[in-house]
A and B are shown apart, each in its own frame.
Chain A
Amino acid sequence: MGLIPLGFWAASGAGGAPTSAAYELISTTVLGSAAASVTFSGLGTSAAAYKHLQLRYVVRDSGANIWGQVVVRLNGDSGANYAGHTLRGGGSSVTSSAGTSTTSLAIATGTGNSAPSGAFTGGIIDIVDAMSSSKNKVARILTGRATSGDNEILLQSGLWMNTATLTSISLAGNGTNLLTGSRFSLYGLKG
């Protein structure tokens, strides 16, 4: 697929069309009504051709605050089999935290239902070597909320101490529901 003409100023450049697809959409879910969670399942089949996975999303939850949270788990594992670090910018200071033997890959930031109408939180999760059966699973999460109050930007690492091939990824509100309009797209990267 080649360049699609857009109007632009300043100078001309050149771009090339890819000769083979390395980054492909696996599945997208857009919530038409509130849901407790969204799960990408059957990855042993749908993602078997890929080496790495990327999840891109925007989310808003039913919590009563401006802030929200999204709990990320792999293969339905809610046991104390995860670890991670967080680097957080809250608008006035930078902090860092870490956890071991945690029960989720990450608790990413979200937008709660007291935020301005229409505000959602965006996030990108990269899971490297997701389909390996010999490596624990590692992830990087970039997510942030800018809602005119209680803003934050997070860079998180996540570790699932399990060498099993991924079969599912779930994202859930932390005691809340994910609201209509929240969107979750899973991509595979070949390697």
Chain B
Amino acid sequence: MANAMVALANITLGSTAATVTFSSIPATYRDLRLVINGTVTTGGNIFIRFNGDSGSNYTYVQAYGTGSSAASSTSSGSETADASGVFYTNPGMATYDFLDYSATDKHKSSLNRCSVAGNLVIMNAARWASTSAITSIVVSHGSGSYTSGTTFSLYGVIS
């Protein structure tokens, strides 16, 4: 049987970048997995935006632990992109699963785990209130930029 997780694109930054974009994503797969590993110039939120949609169409809920406390937050109808992870200047990694990304009969659900050494660990669920298939993903940062050497790997999951 064929491998069910297919590498679609792998980006390793050769210099600092404020955003990374995956475009022309085919509708061939069932789910997408995005893996980010690296650092940023200033601590803050990772933002994920689909298909260039900057409208109030994103909702997320997250729970996180800092080592001294645990907390949860949610954002509904935000006018910004989905804030679903936090990176700091310490090394961090984030894994996003975008489920049924190519379906045109449902909103897009995602699950995320993010951890940053010495800072925190997060789990997150999000929804993009659109029945459009995801054709592009823009990863940006709320406060700074992703540093050279940071990797962004996109996989398609067959179903």
Contact = CB atoms under 8 A, between A and B. Distances in A.
Contacts of B11: 8, 10-13
Contact of B4 (A25, A57, A58): A25
Interface stretch (A74-82, A118-126, A131-139): A118-126
The number of chain B residues touching the other chain, given as a range, is 35 or more
Contacts of A155: 63, 123
B1 A10 contact: no
Interface in B85-140: 97, 99-100, 103, 105-107, 109-111, 113, 123-127, 129, 131
A18 interface: yes
Contacts of B54: none
A1 B156 CA distance: 12
Contact of B8 (A6, A119, A148): A6
A24 B109 CA distance: 22
Given A119-B107, A122-B97, A89 B61 contact: yes
Nearest to A151: B61
Question: Which residue, of A10, A119, A148, has the highest number of chain B Cβ atoms within 10 A?
Answer: A10
Contacts, number: 205
Interface string A1-44: 11110111111111111101111110010000000000000000
Interface range on chain A (Cβ under 8 Å from partner): 35 or more
Chain B facing A: main interface SS = strand
Nearest to A21: B3
A124 B97 contact: yes
Interface in A88-102: 88-94
Interface of A: 1-4, 6-18, 20-25, 28, 56-58, 60, 87-94, 116, 118-124, 142-149, 151-153, 155, 181, 183, 185, 187
Given A89-B62, A89-B123, A152-B125, 9 more contacts: A11-B12, A17-B7, A21-B3, A56-B99, A93-B72, A119-B107, A146-B109, A151-B59, A155-B63
5 contacts: A8-B21, A56-B157, A93-B72, A116-B107, A181-B106
**Pairs A-B, 6 closest by C-beta atoms:** A144-B125, A89-B63, A91-B74, A89-B72, A122-B109, A151-B61
